[in-house]
A and B are shown apart, each in its own frame.
Chain A
Amino acid sequence: MLSTVLEQVVNGIVTGSVYAIVAVGMTMIFGVLRAINFAHGEYYMLGTFGAWFAIDYLGLSYEASIIVGVLATMVVAYVVGQLVMSRMVGAPAESGVLATLGIALILQNTVIFVFGGGYKFFSGGYIEPISIFGFSLAQQRILILVVCLVVFVGLELMVTYSRLGMAMRAVSQNVECCEVVGIDVPQVVSRTFILGAALAALSGVLTAPVNVSVYGGMGELITFKTLPIIIMGGLGNVRGTFFAAMILGIAESLVATYVGLQFRDTVGFATLILVLMWRPHGLFSTQARF
């Protein structure tokens, strides 16, 4: 009994890692833009598609396909950032919703148009199971866990010490003041956006071997999973997002085991609503900033 619970917790942590890498990009983008990015899952999809293309069409190895997937997504994110996101600084919330929805539709359906709508199978990755502490896991999942930890330690350092990180924090607090002290706001927005998209793509490529199925509309689901996480984590809060993602991953896993798999997708929003009843600004936001 206890070991089953423990096993589910481990499962949940792995799932949480996937969400965490996607969500942290989204939350950073929110920090600088104040816009809910409904297109964020699409970068996850683009990364996966890039890697699938690299393996199936270019015949590259899985390792190389990770780089191809992430780079291809960064290029797309650069274009989208220049054309669309940079115009969104200071725009009202509702136009952010519509604009990112528009981007989501364009990205998703362009991929369907180019590669055909049908699902594809992803063939790379390390899918052999290994056993640790009596739990059987695919090697790929260990990789996801490790990458997740590396990403978060890296981001924590970056946000605290690097120039870009400090600029990001400054922009998320007060855009006008940043402009006064000479911070190039559009550049910070653009870079944050590319970084966030690249993280989503990385998460996509890393999970592709265990999720196997690749199709144009796969990003939507990820968007829906990450939205509650970034709210619970306290918008713009990197560390909070990490813990929120883990909590959601574990909660989902336990619900899927003890309540029923069909309720899994509901867990995110149900937890969110409960959390918001208790702490209207999320779990990890110390003060109301927005």
Chain B
Amino acid sequence: MALLEVENLQTHFRTPGGINRAVDGVSFHVNEGETLAIVGESGCGKSVTSMSLMRLIPEPPGRIAGAIRFAGRDLLQLSDREMRAIRGNDISMIFQEPMTSLNPVLTVGRQIRETLMIHQGLDKAAAEAHAIEMLTLVGIPEPKRRVREYPHQLSGGMRQRVMIAIALACNPKLLIADEPTTALDVTIQAQILKLMLDLKRRVGAAIILITHDLGVVAEIAERVMVMYAGRKVEEAPVAELFRSPRHPYTQGLLGAVPKLGSSLTGTATRLAEIPGQVPDLRKPIIGCVFAGRCALATDLCRQYAPGLEEKGPRHIAACHYAAKGAVAA
């Protein structure tokens, strides 16, 4: 059974320039213990999707519609109080910028304790012991000293480890990681990715990983969903998606990334460009969202939006022309 089922999620914002349809009719699911990556460029709605799952969208100006069923309950129907019991407990989140998501005036230990005392009803001493345990788990040296330190005393990588410790303190069933390594240097990123993989094996939480880095996706995701202009355009198991992307946007995205080692095999060619830019989401889009930038677009694409169709085993894409079955790219 799916742990999380999202159905026709629509998150719109009222802006002076009109209604911004940041997320417009997205459906997906996450199984227990599974890692789903949501990939796309700035403004595709991937972060708004994750914020909607946690109901962290300010309403107004935002408005969330559709259904978000977590373990059978629709999160959108819950009261604020019920939602608070879920946040940080059953579903927790790691953000991109560990400096701004930790409270600078509280010690690291207190911030981990807080979650445990609220959700698990631990007393201070028990929570403190558990906090030290969590810091050890995420690989922070000298955890007994570190619990008494403030965020500014830690490096970027350490702060992200603390964020992970807070997120995992209550053994969540679902962890949402929004660009967890984007702000980190590559050697630190390698440490954090390894940590996330190790912890996933041990804790068994499902992960929704939001990122624009296809390398990170290939490294830790099992299934990938590609978003463009607030819609889901393709979804497939990770190996399948990288091997035979069906949607022209996904193909463009994969072609635009140079691969390390390409100069050695003599495959260093010109990078594929996706001409043009993302459409303005405040204006109604008729037809396929990608038609304006797609080399294959015809009048059909400009008039009728393609639905998500099965193109292969567990592989769906929204394109009139994407080949079924056989490898397209």
A and B part of one assembly: no
